[in-house]
Structure 1
Amino acid sequence: MAENKTRALSDVLDQLEAAAHDDSIQVQEVIEKLGRKSFASLMLVFSLISTSPASAIPGITTIVAAIVFILVVQMIIGRNCVWLPEFITHRRMSTQKLCKGIAWLRKPVHFVERFLKARLTFLLHRPWLWLPLIAILGLTLFMPFMEIIPTSGSIASAVIALFAAGLLTRDGGLVVLSLILLLGVPITVWHFGFSG
């Protein structure tokens, strides 16, 4: 069972790749493929898309920020099934760019999986879970402004992906790491992007 948990990230990439067909894929298809109750999987997928070379697409950071914001709000209020507005679910992504991004992510994901295991699982429940969720809410509000600073949106998305990976693999240690980074990202981006 533990081995299955540590493979959770690769499994999500496998599911996403299996959903890719034709020239483009609708966000709705991604949701249906991963499951309407898979908040962590969906958060991981969309944040990884924004971390991959696909992040070069104008506006992708803002779109991902909006999706993650809506997912987190639903997680905080305890909703069981994912809901996203139609203007998001009807958006389409290039399958070529998506598959290229998935291929690019395989190696780092495989590397990270070697260190993941179930630990500090009490942090994955309320009220502890609210701390990183609230931090992510704040970060997503900041992310649209990161569009003007190269790579900053990818960094923010990577930290959110770490949190989602922690949820999927029941790794509370990774959740703690993501919380520390979540608090530091806006300050770091502001310092290097706007100072001097």
Structure 2
Amino acid sequence: MAQAVGGQAEHKDVLVGVLDDVQDGLNGKSKRISVGEIVASLNDRGFGALCAVIGALAAMPVIGALPGVSIGSAIIVLLIAGQHVIGRRSVWIPKFVANFSIERATFEKGLESVRPYAKWLDGAIRPRLLWFVGGDTERRLIAAAIGVLALVMLPLALIPWGVLPPALAIPAFGIAITGRDGLFALIGYAFVAATAYMLYAFSGVIASLLQGL
């Protein structure tokens, strides 16, 4: 499936606006919500909004702790970031990924739990430090960083809460792009450093777990 990833949202109500778009686009009676529906609900909010929402799913305890969500989120973000790096203006998601679903009640509970934080963050988001987010090169660099983060989420998923640093970095980068806020890009890069440290610190444990699979 393909979804347009066009214009950026204004910095006012950036995150709350994204949450509203998701909820408005997912009005229905089905008991489960698919990844394809989530992507479609964002319409043309853009690459940053997609990464912010999907990355946040892996970071929220109510959703991220569900079996397979961390790995599924990583695969989706990796696909999205890779296509952005090569300059693709629409996102293609394989059918088997688009059909992956979670319970509607769990998803809606997760959205409502993050809304107060979204409102608080919206008050802090504003265009600044644009040399980190303003140009095409900078955005592709962020997309490449997001892709690497998504890739390392796969082995870190073997460690309890191991995906938390990259799962926080990805929404930070998404906010940076969507709100044109370079400060959040710096926060994202700080989480990249934390992710690298965690991968190094637990490399032996991860190797042992992989050998046991």
1:180 aligns with 2:190: yes
Amino acid at match of 1:29: E
Q: Indicate the RMSD between aligned Cα atoms, in angstroms.
A: 2.1
Offset at residue 6 of structure 1 (A): 3.1
Aligned counterparts, 1:1-196, within 5 A: 4-18=10-24, 19-21=26-28, 22-35=30-43, 38-52=46-60, 53-124=62-133, 125-191=135-201
Letter in 1 for 2:78: F
Q: How high is the TM-score relative to the length of structure 1?
A: 0.89
Structure 2 unaligned regions, length at least 5: 1-8, 206-213
Q: CA deviation at 1:76?
A: 0.8
Cα deviation 1:129-154 (Å, max 9, x = unaligned): 33332222222111111222222213
The number of residues matched between the two structures is 193
Partner of 2:163, secondary structure, is: helix
Amino acid at match of 2:66: I
Q: Is 2:128–2:180's contact at 8 Å kept on the other side of the alignment?
A: yes
SS of residue matched to 1:151: coil
Q: Structure 1 stretch 74-83 or stretch 32-41: which is displaced more?
A: 32-41
The TM-score, its normalising length taken from structure 2, stands at 0.82
Secondary structure of the residue aligned to 1:93 is strand
Aligned identity (percent) is 23
Deviation track 1:99-158 (CA, whole Å, cap 9, x = no partner) reads 111111112222222211011223222322333322222221111112222222133211
Q: 1:36 touches 1:81 (CA, 8 Å); kept in 2?
A: no
Structure 1 residue ranges, 4+ long, deviating more than 3 angstroms after superposition? 192-195
